[in-house]
Chain A
Amino acid sequence: MNPDKPKMGFFETIANIDRRVIFLFVGFAVIIPVLLSFSCREEATPIVQSIFDKIESLPEGSKVLMSFDYGPSTVPEVQPMVDAFLRHCCEKNLKIYMMALWGTGHNLISESMEDIIKEEFPHKVYGLDYVNLGFKAGQQGLINVILTDLKKMYTTDALGSEIDAVPMMVDIRNLKSFDLILSMGGGFPGIKEWVLFGGDPGNIPVAGGATAVSAPLLYPYYPRQLLGLLGGIKGAAEYESALIKGYPKFKTYSHPGIDMMGPQTVAHIVIVLFIVIGNITFFMGRKKEEEEKREGGALK
């Protein structure tokens, strides 16, 4: 230890703390609840419940368009929403049309079909109960075209079959043929584009789920232009809880949204504590500086 080095007080030590110590605390705040499988009880808020109620109110055979507008980087947040929507739509015997505005969404559709529809609902038939339309480039321009003519852009499904050879595509003309549009998004193009270019001009109900980063920008559209919104993993967890409440059999299924809320809660508490400590340190430091200035002035 260097005896010439002035001893730092508690608040000075905190102010100069290595950022890696904070990472370590946040890491433990996440790892420990994950290992202990700590989770919290969730209740659906009105903005989430409204989507659940809408899907509940749709009669059997109604057409739901699901747009996979996200990529692998946001899978932990968005995939739980997709899984919950797919389970709910399959349980209600709705016809599911899957497409992607993001190139990365293409593979995620295939994964979701394998993991949820084929595994949990093996009686569902491709082309009759669900279809994969794949990715098409064009972003909001694509929505603008399919608003009036879907088959102009989609001449085949993702597997290369002619679009009219897919039974559930025969009576589809444009976006107005759908009873509900669900967009699961992580940015541009996403829910906002579906509202602006599909929902509003076509008067079609639009709802969906968004990453927590983009969710605050979408709340102004609720409830007039956006039927409901799952904001981040909290929204996914709320939807899963609503699904379990409505269909208790789903309690035994995987519910990653609810599972993630335990680590989320603990990590948030740790971050809030750090923010409080950081603010106290900042104000203490400022007070000390002012005192030193005053003392310096008095000496002069």
Chain B
Amino acid sequence: MRKDLVWLFGGVLFFGLLYLLNWGVKAISTDLLVWIGAFLSLAILSFLYQDNPFYKFAEHLFVGVSAAYWMCMGFWNTLVPNLIAKLHPPIVKGVLPAIAEKPPEYWYIIPAALGIMFLMRLSPKAPWISRWALAFIVGTTTGLNLVRYLRSDFVGQIKSTLIPVIVVENGSLSVGGSFSNIVIVLGVLCGLIYFFFSKEHKGIFGVASRVGIYILMITFGASFGYTVMARISLLVGRMQFLFGDWMGLLQ
């Protein structure tokens, strides 16, 4: 084992012993699953120092468990109730007794055939057959999304931008509301101008384009801030698990 890895896990052992000596063994978890969780958490976090076999083990375990989970979910939550139970209901009597008595719906053979066609991608002789199933999915998804996105993301967002720039609340001018609406309207217009390349960005147009890029910068900054918050939340969650559920140091 490499010298630095010995240091790393020696450190973990040292802190573990320190903990046992100082805080007593009563508070530490006796749940095996918590210990497995703690070991895997530390194994993953050890990557922050550098790549090592413990990290690799945890990573591979995660990939394997995830694949198995999705396979089981796909079979029991999709194939069984949505296909097998529809084509031959009595076969699912043991798992879904409520629908075992229902009449079969044979038109489900069509999606079953499309599913099998999809798997033909694995065949070295006729992988082109999978394109038909793929074309069906692309076609239906496009049709489905086009209408909804056009209505909510395009028309809906234009509607949301058509707002009064002077807001009057209870008979008096709302400075905050007006400022907020002006920022929205100007922000949208300037952002759009920045992406309009048919006219040279000079004069007033150039100023608006410049404001547009500042608005975009602020947006990216806000997104970055939120991303930091998300990642720190995950770290806090892990630390609460390690110091609370595992070591029992938190109330």
Q: Measuring CB to CB, which residues of chain A are less than 8 angstroms from any residue of chain B? A: 20, 23, 26-27, 30-31, 34-35, 37, 73-77, 103-104, 106, 134-137, 140-141, 144, 155-156, 160-163, 165, 195-197, 200-201, 211-213, 215-216, 220-221, 224-225, 231-234, 256, 259-260, 263-264, 267-268, 271
Please indicate the chain A residues that have their CB under 8 angstroms from the CB of B229 in the complex: 212, 232-234, 264, 268
Per DSSP, chain A at the interface is: helix
Cα–Cα distance between A94 and B114 once the two chains are bound (Å): 42
User: How many residues on the B side are at the interface (Cβ–Cβ under 8 A)?
Assistant: 50
Please indicate the chain B residues that have their CB under 8 angstroms from the CB of A233 in the complex: 229, 233, 236
Q: Report yes or no: A137 in contact with B153, Cβ–Cβ below 8 A.
A: no
Please indicate the chain A residues that have their CB under 8 angstroms from the CB of B160 in the complex: 220-221, 224-225
Taking A201-B148, A267-B232 as contacts, is the C-beta distance between A103 and B243 under 8 angstroms? Answer: no
Please indicate the chain B residues that have their CB under 8 angstroms from the CB of A155 in the complex: 81, 98-99, 102
List 8 contacting pairs A-B, 8 Å CB cutoff, sorted by A: A30-B235, A31-B239, A77-B233, A137-B77, A160-B95, A163-B98, A260-B233, A264-B233
Cα–Cα distance between A137 and B219 once the two chains are bound (Å): 33
Cα–Cα distance between A20 and B73 once the two chains are bound (Å): 39
Taking A20-B49, A224-B160, A225-B152 as contacts, is the C-beta distance between A30 and B95 under 8 angstroms? Answer: no
Per DSSP, chain B at the interface is: helix
Q: Measuring CB to CB, which residues of chain B are less than 8 angstroms from any residue of chain A? A: 48-49, 69-70, 73-74, 77-78, 81-82, 95-99, 102, 140-141, 144-145, 148-149, 151-153, 156-157, 159-160, 219, 222-223, 226-230, 232-240, 243, 249-251
Please indicate the chain B residues that have their CB under 8 angstroms from the CB of A221 in the complex: 156, 160
Closest to B94 in A: A160
Shortest distance from the beta carbon of A104 to any chain B beta carbon, whole Å: 8
Please indicate the chain A residues that have their CB under 8 angstroms from the CB of B97 in the complex: 160
Question: Which of A75, A163, A213: most chain B CB closer than 10 A?
Answer: A213
Q: Report yes or no: B152 in contact with A200, Cβ–Cβ below 8 A.
A: yes
Please indicate the chain B residues that have their CB under 8 angstroms from the CB of A37 in the complex: 250-251
Q: Report yes or no: A34 in contact with B226, Cβ–Cβ below 8 A.
A: no
Q: Report yes or no: B243 in contact with A31, Cβ–Cβ below 8 A.
A: yes
Q: A144-B148, A264-B229 are known contacts; what are 5 more A-B pairs with Cβ within 8 Å? A: A163-B98, A212-B233, A213-B230, A224-B159, A232-B226
Q: Report yes or no: B239 in contact with A232, Cβ–Cβ below 8 A.
A: no
Please indicate the chain B residues that have their CB under 8 angstroms from the CB of A74 in the complex: 234
Cα–Cα distance between A72 and B157 once the two chains are bound (Å): 32
Q: Report yes or no: B82 in contact with A263, Cβ–Cβ below 8 A.
A: no
Shortest distance from the beta carbon of A10 to any chain B beta carbon, whole Å: 25
Please indicate the chain A residues that have their CB under 8 angstroms from the CB of B153 in the complex: 196
Shortest distance from the beta carbon of A248 to any chain B beta carbon, whole Å: 20
Closest to B99 in A: A155
Q: Report yes or no: A160 in contact with B96, Cβ–Cβ below 8 A.
A: yes
Please indicate the chain B residues that have their CB under 8 angstroms from the CB of A23 in the complex: 48
Please indicate the chain A residues that have their CB under 8 angstroms from the CB of B230 in the complex: 77, 211-213, 232
